[in-house]
Structure 1
């Protein structure tokens, strides 16, 4: 009898141990599965008509993140300055900004990497001068107040334009965000501003373009909007980052296959006409993944492209203008630009 009881106790103990072990294993497995994806993804973006905006408005991101079962949120930033602060604090995971703010992020040690070039800037950005201001050439800007968001691609192009004309010390530059520029323009506080669409379109209702970023690019002053990701995030979720890049690529494909439809979707989001949106979209160069990986731009893993040299040249100029304390080295830029996720997205 005692032997039978002992046997039952022993069997019960074994069963309890098995159940506990299975419970622990199940708990670990559940935690592991939950840990393979973030609880939420926060995306900083600019309200500009680019591939990201197409993917946002055409539900490309909805499809991607809903299939993953991961909530996501788009958070608008007026410039890369605030986006960099958010990246540094960890409150956003991805951010779109001008390449000049990408340089500032690297120079300040923010733990991020560049994973995509949204568009090479052209007619979408420029120096507007007010009708009736009698400004028709660079020298007419002497003594004028010129507004631009500091540390932006517009600021960089403007500085180069003024330096080329030899008047960089004969104008007053004002640091304004895009909404402030429009307000100052309408009040009559300024007659000139270097900014981007759609703000640029507001200014040209009563003004003309003196020089565009397309003109500056022909002179070797290349600017672009880029996408950065926190390295802690990309190291933990590389497949998700590759999927995010694929969404950007899909947005570009949608635009190339049906520009009118893409422009209509973007226009509804931005509150502008389809024709205006299309004009802005054709005012920049949208790169395919193959072009991104080419020697002229990001290059491939282990073979940095020319965009890294452009970033270095831009950083050297920003340092000479005291916009940054120290320009990162060429090697740092080569490591900062990471084409791995584009390569992964194409497999």
Structure 2
């Protein structure tokens, strides 16, 4: 009798374990369609092509109508997005290209598949009017905040180097919300940050320069999208679909900027004027521009953005932000225009 009970107990345990295993399998992939049950997308709270695509529901035909749930996860910067990539909890994420360099240097299992926008006047170095600073050399001895490892941090460090202020200021690592709070308390004298935080600082602050000014000196910064290797390799069709929706978002903005700004404003809970100002402060690239020599290039011929990546890597290595500087070969393997090429073909 005891043996029979023990056998039944072992059978129940085995069946329970089988159910758990099967549940684990179906969490990522539907057995009927071979497609994932959900896609996790990391986003920045900025009005970009992804924001317009969400507002216009451009992702729905590619995901929702196939029974795939899209989860949009907000990250204040790429630092947290990279942590999520490390844990395998997201499939795509938008971030500043500097954090893309960090991801590559730390050998995260990701690839660069998209440039959302080239940064311009939407990121600026601003000083509090109460600080008395009116020109660059007066920053000496001041406290400046920025989110470390971000595009703003990269731009700030290059600015300080250019004006020989590197060892003459105190740098503070703060996220955008903390920057606003510290600014209001008078704890910092200046900050290099992006919209919509930027406009709050400009209420009682003055801009000394923008990332558009730095781009003229050769220091280009951009927001990019990375994709997780496991997802890219398993679902190349859905990766192309994701980029097609982004292309549609960008095309809609170029066709009707006013409506796009209105949609983005509602999505982000900001005013239409704020959204339009932020959108006009960046350069949104067409599919053709993304695949041009000036940016990503093609699968056969890498574009100039690889040089921007290399320049950034050299700088971050010098600043000891990354321990090992990626080679140009590694950078070219990291940047994958193939998915845009395929998405473009499917849209013709």
Taking structure 1 as the reference length, the TM-score comes to 0.90
Partner of 2:117: 119
1:272 is displaced (CA, Å) by: 1.7
Comparing 272-281 with 234-243, which one deviates more in the overlay? 272-281
SS in 2 for 1:287: coil
Q: For 1:318 and 1:108, how far apart are their aligned partners in 2?
A: 13
The answer to whether structure 1 residue 171 and structure 2 residue 174 are counterparts is no
Cα distance in 2 for residues equivalent to 1:90 and 1:34: 24
* CA–CA distance in structure 2, aligned partners of residues 34 and 139 of structure 1: 65
1:96 — aligned with what? 94
Tell whether the 8 Å contact from 2:30 to 2:37 is kept in structure 1 after alignment.
no
Q: Deviations over 1:43-80 (max 9, x none)?
A: 00100111111111121123331222101100000000
Distance 1:194-1:55 versus aligned 2 partners, 3 A rule: same
Q: Give me the whole-angstrom Cα distance separating, in 1, the residues matched to 2:294 and 2:263.
A: 31
Aligned residues: 317
- Measure the CA separation in 1 of the matches of 2:316 and 2:175: 19
TM-score, structure 2 length as denominator?
A: 0.89
Work out which of the two has the higher radius of gyration on C-alpha atoms and give 1 or 2. Answer: 1
Distance 2:269 2:33 in 1: 39
Contact 2:30 2:36 in 1 (8 A): no
| Alpha-carbon distance in structure 1 between the residues aligned to 2:157 and 2:228 | 29
2:138 to 134, 137, 140: 140
Of 309, 312, 318, 1:311 maps to 309
In structure 1, the gaps of 5 or more residues are: 1-30
> 1:145, CA displacement in angstroms?
0.5
Partner in structure 2 of residue 284 of structure 1: 282
Q: Is the 8 A contact 1:36 1:237 kept in 2?
A: no
Question: Equivalences for 1:329-340 in 2 at 5 Å?
Answer: 329-340=327-338
Q: State how 1:1-347 maps to structure 2 within 5 Å.
A: 34=32, 36-347=34-345
Q: Distance in 1 between matches of 2:273 and 2:181?
A: 24
SS in 2 for 1:301: coil
Q: 2:121, 2:282 within 8 Å by CA — same for their partners in 1? A: yes
Instruction: Determine helix, strand or coil for the equivalent of 1:60.
Output: coil
Shift of 1:208: 1.6
User: Secondary structure of the equivalent of 1:317?
Assistant: helix
CA RMSD of aligned residues (A): 1.2
| CA deviation vs aligned residue, 1:157-202 (integer Å, no higher than 9, x gap) | 0000000000110000000000000000011111200011011111
Give the Cα–Cα distance (whole angstroms) in 2 for the partners of residues 232 and 62 of structure 1: 22
Output the CA distance in 2 between the equivalents of 1:181 and 1:88.
Answer: 27
2:249 match: secondary structure: helix
CA distance in 1, matches of 2:232, 2:66: 16
Structure 2: state its 5+ residue gaps. Answer: 1-28
Partner SS, residue 227 of structure 2: strand
The aligned counterpart of 1:19 is none
CA distance in 1 between counterparts of 2:135 and 2:329 reads: 39
Structure 1 consecutive aligned stretches of length 4 or more whose deviation exceeds 6 Å: none
Once the two structures are TM-superposed, the CA of residue 138 in structure 1 deviates from its matched residue by: 1.1
2-structure distance, mates of 1:120, 1:337: 16
